[in-house]
Structure 1
């Protein structure tokens, strides 16, 4: 790919170009077919960067059903906790289309951070932000009605960007996974909320109305 994998990760944005190049030299580039695992439990402690394509991070319950944690698109990444020694007990990262994945190994990054302590601080800040977002998703999934999950998600996004009219940040299938439902059910709930006068939708364009 033309761009550096490290340029896709906000963690490395504050670093000068020569230091980014040092990190890029540590990165392994791999191509995965749809449905291949880039990470599985008790595997290597890697930072996983989606250079091109998409993937899903999930856990499995006792019945073997997937619990989606997040949908990863180009520029997204996962694995900060594993880089700092946390064991991956039940996390999978599986590509959902042909994808180029960049892998950065814990031992390589830790060695680099000994000489760049500001990198450790930045990583901690971003990790706290991701934990907060995952807690928000967990809260949404506790709501019994899908329409309540959807409306609360949309309102939170509107508050974040300070606009009541916006384009959906996720594709319908990805939003359905995020909210623990199906695209078909999600479409019905959009129609329900529109009928109730809570929003107006045209394809991916959304306008929220305050009650």
Structure 2
């Protein structure tokens, strides 16, 4: 189980140590305006799966992700959840201009957000073109990622999609390195993101393992044994998408760790901390 998180809001008293001050649009706010926004802001931690902003409402607050991942999702007429997109630190949750959307924003992992009253945030964007331009760049980047994700699903069967998704997470590994992919999303969310059922996801992962392409170390961690064959199975013919994703720092639901293959004692070194 994930460690227990305090989920009550805490007042935000300074932007000096806030990670969003460098990655979010608030880096462009004038000091006087930033002080006004801080006075209307709180930091809040959300457990994985907890709703941050419900769909179908005009939110009183908007948020900037400080840590963790947030999913945009919707529920169909049969009560099934569908993950539409994964948002990353520095990106905004909710619309400061008051639009109501039918999608909800939920914590895809344990996440911390800076939640701000919508009115002063909208005023900041209205009065300061630089801050609005920063917000627009972040929104366009989110849209570009969504287009990339849609493109990656096109023309691929379920096995090819999971192979492609694993391949996009990974840097190149030398002969003395092992590529270890830590899956940050729940199996249910990952299956939804890749447009398949949980059962199909599990079956395809085990098929990749049976073919000697990956090794399932734990339910949350994979090792890539044959990166070349993985790319072939994924029909990975164009590296531009992968390069763009990694250049922007997108995790897309996982985190690749380029580990030393063996320590001096002959065991695998520097194992990442896993979500239990």
Q: Would the TM-score normalized by the shorter structure come out above 0.5?
A: yes
The answer as to 2:203 corresponding to 1:188 is yes
Alignment of 1:150-189 (within 5 A): 150-158=162-170, 162-164=171-173, 165-168=179-182, 170-173=184-187, 174-189=189-204
Out of 119, 144, 166, the residue aligned to residue 132 of structure 1 is: 144
Tell me how large the CA RMSD over aligned residues is.
3.8
1:125–1:28 distance in 2 versus 1, CA, 3 Å: same
- Cα distance in 1 for residues equivalent to 2:181 and 2:110: 26
Correspondent of 1:202 among 203, 217, 227? 217
CA contact (8 A) 2:63 2:116 kept: yes
Cα displacement string for residues 181-207 of structure 1 (whole angstroms, at most 9, x for unaligned residues): 455542321221122343344331432
Tell me the residue number matched to 2:122. 110
**Which structure is larger by alpha-carbon Rg, 1 or 2?**
2
2:59 maps to: 44
Larger CA deviation: 8-17 vs 166-175: 8-17
Aligned to 1:11: 24
In the TM superposition, what is the alpha-carbon distance from 1:121 to its structure 2 partner? 1.5
Aligned position for 1:57:
72
- Deviation per residue, 1:13-66 (Å, 9 max, x gap): 745894655432222456778655633213226423456777542123344432
**Following TM superposition, by how much is the alpha carbon of 1:91 offset from its aligned partner in structure 2, in angstroms?**
0.9
Decide which moves more: 136-145 or 29-38.
Answer: 29-38
1:24 alignment counterpart? 38
Gaps of 5+ in 2: 1-9, 174-178, 230-276
Q: Structure 1's 168 and 177: CA in aligned 2 closer, same or farther, altered over 3 A?
A: farther
Kindly provide the CA deviation profile for residues 50-102 of structure 1, in whole angstroms up to 9, marking residues without a partner as x. Answer: 567775421233444322123568x465436x2245x3331112457887654
Counterpart CA distance in 1 for 2:90 and 2:64 is: 6
1:124 to partner: Cα distance: 1.3
Using the size of structure 1 for normalisation, the TM-score is 0.70
Shift of 1:127: 1.2
Between 2-11 and 197-206, the greater mean CA deviation after superposition: 2-11
Cα contact 2:52–2:107 (8 A) shared by 1: yes
Structure number with higher helix proportion: 1
Aligned length: 205
Q: Relative to structure 1, is the Cα distance of residues 184 and 125 closer, same or farther in structure 2, using a 3 angstrom cutoff?
A: same
TM-score when normalising by structure 2? 0.57
Q: 1:91 to 1:194 in 2, by over 3 A?
A: same
Q: Closer, same or farther in 2 for the Cα pair 1:39/1:76, shift >3 Å?
A: farther
Q: Which residue of 1 aligns with 2:252?
A: none
Q: Distance in 2 between matches of 1:53 and 1:14?
A: 20
